[in-house]
Amino acid sequence: MLKKIKQKIVEVNVDLKIDERSGEIYAVAALFETPDSIFHAAEKVGKSKYSKYDIHTPYPIHGMDDAMRLKPTKLGFVTFIFGLLGVIIALLMIGYMSGIDYRNIIGGKPFFALPPSMPVAFELTVLFAALLTIIFTLFVFNKLPKIFHPLMDTEYMKRVSTDRYGIVIEAEDKNFDKDKVTEFLKSLGSSEISLIYKFTKDEDKIKTPIFDLKFIGLLAGVAVITAIGTYIILNKVIYTTPFDWMTDQFRVNAQTQSKFFEDGFGMRLPVEGTVSKGSSQYKFKGMPDSLVKNLSNPLPVTKEVFARGKQKYETFCSSCHGYYGKGDSRLKGQYPNPPTLHSEKIKNFKDGNIYHIIVNGQNVMPSYSKQISPDDRWAIVHYIRALLRSQNALDNDFPPGNERPGEENKNK
C-alpha cells in the first residue's frame, strides 16, 4: 500500500505583489517527489486528452521524451539548411576569388578546383550551422528575449529547479477545466498542486531591456574592454618574465642571424653528399646535359605510363612549354617563354638527357627534383617523346587507309 500523500492547493503569488497577478489562470501545476513518480505521471498525461502541458525537472531524465510522446524536433532540418547555406557561400566565394577576381596559375592547376576548396567549405558549414542554429533556437523556437513568463518567481519553479519534479497543464488546452485537471493530477500522486495566474501585464507588449540603449552601451563597453585586455595579454604580457619561457629559447628562428656559425646564417643547407633514407643520390647533379651517359628509361611503354606522364606534364610543364611542347606559354608574359621542344637538339636527345634537365634544371628553368618523383619524371620523358612524334610523324606511322594528307594521290 502506498502511503497516502496529503493533497493541497496553494494559491501562488510568491515574491510578487497581489496586484501584479491577474485573476486569469495560466495553468495548474503539480509537484512530485521522485523521478519515478514524475516519469509515470508523464506517461499518463501523454496518453490523456491534454496536449498543452510541460514537464520540469532539475536534471534530464532518460526516456522522458518518449513518455511525453513528443514529436521529433525540427531543429535538425534547420541546422541542415544553415550548413548547406555555408557550403554554397564558401564555394561561391572561393569560385569568385580564385576563378574570376584574382586568377593565378599554380602548377598548371585550374583556377577553381573543388578538392582544395573543401576545407574552407567545411569550416563555413560548421560555422553557419552552429551559430545560426543557436540564434534561430533562441529567437524562434524559444521566443527569446522574454522576461515575464507566468511561471517566473513562483514557488513551483523554485522547487522544480532544485529538489522536486513538476507537471504544468496550461489553461489554453481545449480540454482544460480547473477542477477536472486538479482531480486528474491528484490521481497521479502529486504531493502539491498550485494554481498559476497570469501577470496583469501582457508579456508580448513588454519592452525588453535587450534593445535599451544603456544595455547596448554596456555590451559595447564590455567588448572594448575585452579587446583591449586581449591585446595587452597577447602582445605585452606573454613577452614578459615569466611568461616568455616558450618564446625566449636557445634556438634559431627561420630567416634570422645566428652567432653560433661563422658565416652568420641561421638556416643551414644539408651536409654535402648526404642522402636521405630510402633514396639515392643523383650522380649527374650540376653537370651539363652533354655529360649524361648510360642513363636509360626504366619504365615500359604502356598506356598507363603515357597517361601518368601526360597528367604530370600538363601539371608541371605545360604552363611554360604549352600543351604540345611548342613553347607557347600560358603565363602571358609573366615568365620568359622557353624554346620549342620540337627542335633538332631535343629530337637527338637521349631519354637520360631530358630526365637530367628535369632533375637539374637548365637556364631559367629550375630543378623539379623536389616536386616530381623519379618514376613520374621518366613517365614525362615518355610523354615528351610521344609529343615529338605526334608533330613529326613518319610515313610508317600511318596505318593503311589513313595515309598522311596528300599521300593518297601519290599512291595512285
All three cell numbers of 355, joined, read 630526365
Return the amino acid letter for 127: L
Q: What nine digits make up the cell of 159?
A: 522547487
- Calpha distance 380→311 (Å, rounded): 9
Question: What nine digits make up the cell of 30?
Answer: 503539480
The per-residue pLDDT for range 298-327, each reduced to its tens digit, is 888 888 988 999 999 988 888 888 888 888
pLDDT in tens, 317-364: 888 888 888 888 877 777 788 888 888 888 888 888 888 888 888 888
Query: So what's the pLDDT on residue 410?
Result: 46
Domains and CATH numbers, the chain: 1-207 (no CATH), 289-396 (1.10.760.10)
* CB distance 71 to 62 below 8 Å: no
Q: What would the 3-class secondary structure string for 269-283 be?
A: CCCCCCCCCCCCCCC
Say if CB 120 and CB 94 are below 8 A apart: yes
CB-count burial class (<10 Å; 0-12, 13-18, 19+) for 405 = exposed
Task: Please write the tens of the pLDDT for every residue from 197-252.
Answer: 988 876 666 666 677 789 899 999 999 999 999 999 999 998 888 888 877 777 78
Cα of first residue to Cα of last residue in the chain, in angstroms, is 117
Q: pLDDT tens digit string along 138-186?
A: 888 877 766 778 888 899 999 999 999 999 999 999 999 999 999 999 9
Which strands sit side by side in the sheet containing 192-199, from one edge to the other?
9-11, 192-199, 21-32, 165-170, 53-56
C-alpha cell at 57: 525537472
- From CA 358, how far away is CA 373, in angstroms rounded? 10
Instruction: State residue 206's pLDDT score.
Output: 66
Instruction: For residue 298, say if its preceding peptide bond is cis, omega within 30 degrees of 0.
Output: no
**Residue type for position 341:** L
Residue with cell 644539408: 270
Secondary structure class of 292 (helix, strand, coil): coil
